[in-house]
Structure 1
Amino acid sequence: MRALRIILVVTVILGGLFVIADRVAVGFAENKAADRIRSSEGLAGTPDVSIEGFPFLTQVAGGELDDVKIGIKDYEASAEGAKGAAGGTIRIDALNAEMHGVRFNGDYSSATANSASGSATVSYAELLKAAKAQPTEVAPAVTAQVVGLSDGGNGKIKVEITATVLGKKLRPVSVLSSVTVVGGNTVKVRADGLPKLGVDLVEGRIRTVTDFEQKIDGLPGGIKLDRIEAAANGVAISVKGSDVKLVG
């Protein structure tokens, strides 16, 4: 009986030491991976990296991690707006992704995930850069421009428009617009109806103002846009990818 108690005590101690060693190792790996991602993506800040699953050391021995979560704030993605709109970059307030089946080499200089899924948030102020924010002629002596975007409810965007008719500025009007993802890298906003400006308008002309697109490219590892809907503080985008290269 005494020998059994000794074996149990030793087993518990060794198990505790293994857990401590495992957590120390995973912490080191998370920090190392975060530094590699920051360097390879040219990030201003260090991303949050969380390696899921236990034990970590047995995953390392197999050369593949089950799940790795990555969080990046204020990510600058490459962007190209609609014709006549600003391009350059677009800021993603929060980009979160969960990588599944992450294969890596010994010094974490190379890592590729079998698949990835996650979310991204873009503020309405950023998305507004792609809209026709400058006065655009939509009829003789009539100009219109987009002055604001906001949550319209039920996944719709409310597009606020002002118009000037014969030199007189009208009160702002708004339309509800549907927002979709096209081709894995383009956010498309299209008005469900036409704004009532008090004058006869050709649909094609006014839609050059109400409707617009915003490309969002250059997400980490080649992740693509999947689905999108309007939310309280901006558009909420789901992202996904396969054979996602994290670093290297």
Structure 2
Amino acid sequence: MTYDSTVDSRPRRRTGRKLLTGLLVLVVLLLIVAVVADRVGANYAEREIANRVAAQIENQGATASRPEVDVAGVPFLTQVAAGNYEDIGIVVRDLSGQQDGKAVRMPLVDITARDVRAPLSTLMNGQGDIVAGSVAGEATLEYASVAALIGRDGVVLAEKDGKLAVRAPLSAAGQTLNVTGTADVTIEGELVRIRFQELTAEGLESVPFAQNLVNAYARQISIDLQLPPLPLDLKLQKVTPRPEGLVVTAQASEVPLNTTA
């Protein structure tokens, strides 16, 4: 007598497929949980840094919109575990201070903190320092705001060939002269110094002592700008005339990010 020894393996294959499908679903769910946890952690860090920067601005007597913070690098939790972070971008809008009762406003301050060291223990218990190895920033001061601070009617400022150019009316001997020229713009401590040089005026030859008047006018419209204090210990480095305004660059090193001083 002969017996058929063939065994039907189809149920076993179906079971294997079910196990594989379940495993894939589990992996996908774990990835989703990891991504969500990663984003929650990043959002927490961004919120805390924004709070610190906002407190610094307030303590320095300035005002601004709430800082926007972006912690770069994925995954964030890997950076947490290592205690070292990639670039952290901070944008402060409408940073404003006062000079002689007039508002000095910088519509955009763009800051990047690099080599941020934040040990996991510090994040967990709040003890210790979170330090950025270097911080760099750019702040824009609009020409209309500078002209308003100069306080002379008709002064128009703009960038021309990489320099700060001026055009303004000057009344002399019953005539109105159209004065034009450029300025030297430098940094001295916390001040932006604007000194107008070599101003000229059309029809100058027809007005007695007109050049003396133009030189005096150049001194009158020269100004020292006290900018709103920048957060994160940023120190002014240079100022560059650009089409959008005077762009001030600032730097700092070894900056604590978890203090409000």
Q: Report the TM-score when normalising by structure 1.
A: 0.75
Q: Does 1:205 align with 2:216?
A: yes
Whether 1:45 aligns to 2:65 is yes
Q: Note if contact 1:50-1:69 (Cα within 8 Å) is conserved in structure 2.
A: yes
Q: Which residue of 2 aligns with 1:238?
A: 249
Q: Distance in 2 between matches of 1:214 and 1:41?
A: 18
Is 1:102 aligned to residue 111 of structure 2?
no
Q: Percent of aligned pairs with the same residue? A: 26
CA RMSD of aligned residues (A): 3.2
Contact 1:149 1:157 (8 Å CA) reproduced: no
Q: Which residue does the alignment assign to 2:74? A: 54
**Tell me, which stretches of 5 or more residues in structure 2 are unaligned?**
1-12
Q: 1:238 to 1:5 in 2, by over 3 A?
A: same
Alignment of 1:14-53 (within 5 A): 14-42=30-58, 43-53=63-73
- Describe the SS at the equivalent of 2:198: coil
Summarize the Cα distance change of 1:78–1:62 in structure 2 as closer, same or farther, 3 Å threshold: farther
What's the CA shift string for 1:93-150, capped at 9, x where partnerless? 100101012234427796432111121111112222443x35xxxxxxxxxxx63232
Alignment match of 1:191 (pick from 174, 193, 196): 196
Which residue is equivalent to 1:226?
237
Change (3 A) 1:195 1:244: farther
Instruction: For structure 1, list consecutive stretches of 5 or more residues without a partner in the other structure.
Output: 80-85, 135-145
CA contact 1:150–1:232 (8 Å) conserved in 2? no
CA distance in structure 1 between the partners assigned to 2:159 and 2:75 by the alignment:
46
- Normalization by structure 2: what TM-score? 0.72
Matched residue of 1:152: which SS? strand
Q: CA deviation at 1:67?
A: 1.6
Look up the match of 1:90: 104
Which residue in 2 is equivalent to 1:161? 168
CA distance in 2, matches of 1:88, 1:106: 41
Q: SS in structure 2 opposite 1:163?
A: strand
Q: CA deviation at 1:88?
A: 6.5
In the alignment, which residue of structure 1 is the partner of 2:227? Answer: 216
Count of matched residue pairs: 228
Q: Which amino acid aligns with 1:35?
A: N
Match of 2:180 in 1: 174
Judging by fraction of residues, say which structure has more helix.
2
Q: Which amino acid aligns with 2:231?
A: P
Instruction: State the shift of 1:223 in Å.
Output: 0.5
1:114 has 2:133 as partner: yes
